[in-house]
Amino acid sequence: MCAMNDKSITRRARSFLFTGASIALVFSSPAWAGEEVVYTDAPDWIVPAELASVDVADGPSTLIYDWQHRLEGGVVTSYEDTAFRIDNPDMLMQQGTVSLAWLPDKGDLMVHRVEILRGDETIDLIAAGSQFEVIRREQGLEQRLLDGELTATLAVPGLKVGDILRVTHSTTTDDQALGEEMQVSQYLYSDPWKVGFSRARVSWPESADVYWRAEDKAGVGAPTSSKGYRTIDVTLPIDKLAEMPGDAPSRFTRGPVLRVGTFADWQELSRVFAPHYIEAAKVADDSAVAAEADKIMQATADPLTRAAMAVRLVQDEVSYLLNGLDGGNYMPQSASETWEKRYGDCKAKTVLLYSLLTRMGIDAVPVLVSTQGGDAVPELLPVPGNFDHIIVRATIDGTDYWLDGTNTATRLTNIAAVPAFFHALPVTVEGADLVPMTQREPQWPDMVMSITTDYSAGIDLPSLFEMTMSFYGPRGASLRAMADEQDKDSLRQIASNFAGSAGAGAAVKTVEVTYDEDEAKGVIHITGVMPSDFQWSDGRLRMKPEDGQNFVFNPDRARSEWRAIPVLTPGPNRNRIEAEVILPGDASAFTQTGPDTVDETFANTRVVAKNFSEGNRIFSAVDVIQTLGEVAPEDISANKRAVRQINAIDAELIAPEDVTWRWEREPAEVAARTKSLLKAYDAAVEFAAEDDFSAHAQRANFLTQIYDWEGALKDLDLLVEKETSANVLTWRASVLNSLGRSDAAIADAKRAYDLDPNSGNAFFLAELLAYEGQRDEALALLETVPVTDEDSGSYASTYATVAGLAGKTDVALELLGDEVANKPLNASVLNADCWFRGLFNVGVDAAMSTCTKAIERATNSAPMLDSRAMVSYRMGDYDAALKDLDSALELVPGLSASLYLRGIIRLEKGDKDGHEDIATALRMSPDIAKRYAMHGVAPKK
């Protein structure tokens, strides 16, 4: 210990099937052995497995896997017999080296047989002089584990594909810590494991008080008696196990294990361990440990503060090292030795902490726990192997505190946290039963994320942000090394991860990581700029939670055999999110939906939230508190309804109707309002690594948002130079086109198409060419583009536009007509036909029904309304056109084409406000005037 529980038994057992090592995890009491392999006959009590009973030629390649154990006289002997048919080179590699492990301070490794069966020939390798080589296998040294295990290995000489390798060996275990007590834990493999013959057999004298237990699903029969011994014999594999829901408690999902031991109950197990811990915790009054306890008592009279200081001392001043030598798997190191050496495992740290607490007059006791699957422990046979950890329970003012010297960063703020172990076994001289580790709601957060977003520039623009994530306890301690190192690459990686998750326009300008030892608080502080959380919906700009951020509790209990299974809920943990939103105007102009406070629960999760505003700031805080536990089957439906009710809370921040968009402001005003944003992007560029150009891309994205084409071009030039791609070239081409540099735009579009000749790049290039008079080249390009059914609508629209510019409107109408006939319900195809007729002023009389149908079929009808407006404009119905344009702009306020046409029509009707529409449209899309003019659509002079 820190030893094994069911999950580790299962995991290790499965791996042993392929290595040929022993799967049985055996524990018992001491007979000092040697570090040499003993070559001897098999014990006379075993029942040999016979190859004759197995289909050697055509059966599974695992011919025999036989486990037999005997508990007698305080010693457990575990026998294993394996036979593998070497079917292929991979198996030859796997089985070519035999590895057998044992603990030499607890018993012997005895090899009975290593044979190669080749046809009718049996090759006895031991008789031929082959010997195992003994090595110390400390595989866990990097995790500071010194388990004392030795490994004997043998590279099997002469083994070939087609051979059968048979290895038989035994180990004895006599554990110093357990006295005359014994234990065996044997994993029981289930179907569909394929094996010729396998069994698990455990025996003990009839006169011995031995107890056994296995999961009901294993179907293990009662022991039989013969010749003075009782025997359990299980044929493997057992029946296939029923599938269990993944959110079931571990007592439903744990693997089947046959446990056999001599402990009558939990009290006896407790009593056996107690003397070792009590003795190890004793220290002299003039010892160094006693001196440390005195220092703590002098520092404070408060027992809880003393306990926190003692835990911190053990956690911080004693490093972790599992020493399993000389009986150390269960035997604890003394408190004095641990403090002197400044290292120890969970037992040693527990003894030291136990010693400190008791010297300070605090009621404390060591307790055995299982860190995995602790909810199942009460159902298991009382054996030490159920536990893999030991901690201290301290009782102060009637409250139990579960203190772990191997943990990190325990402070007064989190000392009351109850670990997720479910049950504990106090180690006392009188003996104790299992006690529940009753959960309580964490009073201090594990994490607090505070974020301020500043929309002073405008809610339709990116926001400045400042985010602080404070992690407490072990999570905070994990940041200690990063805070000490201050490695710029690591900090930049945090920045990159955050910016990547925040979306287009996000850039980080600073990252700081700090750690406070006294508070055990690790802090990540990030500043920068991020895209606006306000989205246009239903005629208003709204900030609301993103999709996918809802709480989830939807366990599947549809199967009849699952309906009585509870749901395991995670915990304990408590997270808090604090948000502050700075608005460009007074918060009273904005509408907040949803309640000001929330305090709701579902499935052992409590959600507490509050919101309020002050001046131009809105504040909110949400605590999510999860308590480890279960939801009973009969309560699942009610909890599902509860989580749906919480998710149904409509919490939005809605902007006023008269919001001013960035494109409605004069360039000088936009520049003034966005000065701080641009400064943040500049800082992000400076913060990024020399070979990281993502901040340049984000700055270019922002500059195009505010229509600073020349500014964006500078960043795009660098991106093309440093990270050329088809996307970057197409992006720069569109910016160049907005600046009226059509030749350069075409050159970039051609390069983009050469790099990635997809249909989208072809269509973009073709329209650029056509509007610059290179229509034959554009048509020739489109003739070479392979058209999928998915692209056919876009192809028809592009080809029609190019053909129309080339004077081939009949060809264009025929192509669009065919596409409409093939896809009469496709809104995009219908809109392409409508738009072409309006733009080129051909067949407009027949266009209206198609335009209307496109609007009716569309999910987003703004482009379709714009197209019908163009048709109405051509037909001279200005009022109908204006009505559609207003509707389009209600759906998509930044639709420059609609603004431009509306301005033209307003001027036609004598409304001088049309000049404002046109100016705004040209600010957004400077190239629109030239293109529309080619179709005879231009402002009235």
> d(Cα 761, Cα 768) in Å, to the nearest integer?
11
In whole angstroms, give the CA distance from residue 578 to residue 144.
40
How many other β-carbons are positioned within 10 Å of the β-carbon of residue 669?
Answer: 12
Asked, as a colleague might, if the bond just before 237 is cis with ω within 30 of 0, I would say yes
Residue with tokens 């409250």: 399
Query: For residue 384, what are its two tokens?
Result: 């030490």
Based on C-alpha coordinates, what's the Rg of the chain?
A: 38
Torsion of CA 377, 382, 384, 387, to 10 degrees: 10
**Closest CA relative to residue 917, chosen from 668, 662, 669, 663:** 663
Query: What pLDDT shows up at residue 3?
Result: 44
Round to the nearest angstrom and report the end-to-end CA distance of the chain: 92
CA 176/CA 106 separation, integer angstroms = 7
CA atoms within 13 A on the CB side of 798: 25
Q: How far apart are CA 707 and CA 195, in angstroms?
A: 72
Helix, strand, coil tally for the chain in percent (to 5): 40, 25, 35
Structure tokens at 512: 């700081």
This prediction has a pTM of 0.86
| Averaged pLDDT in 10-residue chunks for the chain of 941 residues | 44 40 33 76 97 95 98 98 98 97 94 97 97 73 56 97 98 94 98 98 98 96 98 98 97 97 98 98 98 98 98 96 60 96 95 98 98 97 97 98 97 97 98 98 96 98 98 95 94 91 89 97 98 95 80 96 97 97 96 95 97 96 97 98 94 94 96 98 96 96 97 98 97 98 98 97 98 97 93 94 97 96 95 98 96 96 98 98 98 97 97 97 97 96 75
Task: Let me know: does 855 contact 868? Beta carbons within 8 Å.
Answer: yes
Query: Residue 128 CA to chain centroid, in angstroms?
Result: 54
Task: Tell me if 714 sits within 8 A of 523, measured CB to CB.
Answer: no
Predicted local distance difference test score (pLDDT) of residue 541: 97
Map residue 102 onto helix, strand or coil.
Answer: strand
What is residue 780's predicted lDDT score, i.e. its pLDDT? 97
pLDDT of residue 441: 94
Distance CA 194, CA 217 (A): 19
HSE-up of residue 175 (Cα within 13 Å, Cβ side): 22
Q: Go through the chain and tell me how many residues it has.
A: 941
Closest by Cα among 66, 416, 423, 58 to 235: 66
CA distances from 47 to 42, 44, 84, 199 (A): 10, 8, 19, 11
CB neighbour class for 7 (10 Å; exposed up to 12, middle 13-18, buried from 19): middle
CA 356 to chain centre: 39
Q: Which domains are assigned to the chain?
A: 6-261 (2.60.40.3140), 266-436 (3.10.620.30), 449-654 (no CATH), 824-941 (1.25.40.10)
Sequence-distant (6+) residues with CB within 8 A of 367 are 390, 391, 392, 393, 402, 424, 425, 426, 427, 435
Structure tokens at 168: 């038989």
Would you state the pLDDT for residue 517? 96
Q: Please give the C-alpha separations between residue 222 and each of 212, 233, 752, in angstroms, as whole numbers.
A: 9, 9, 77
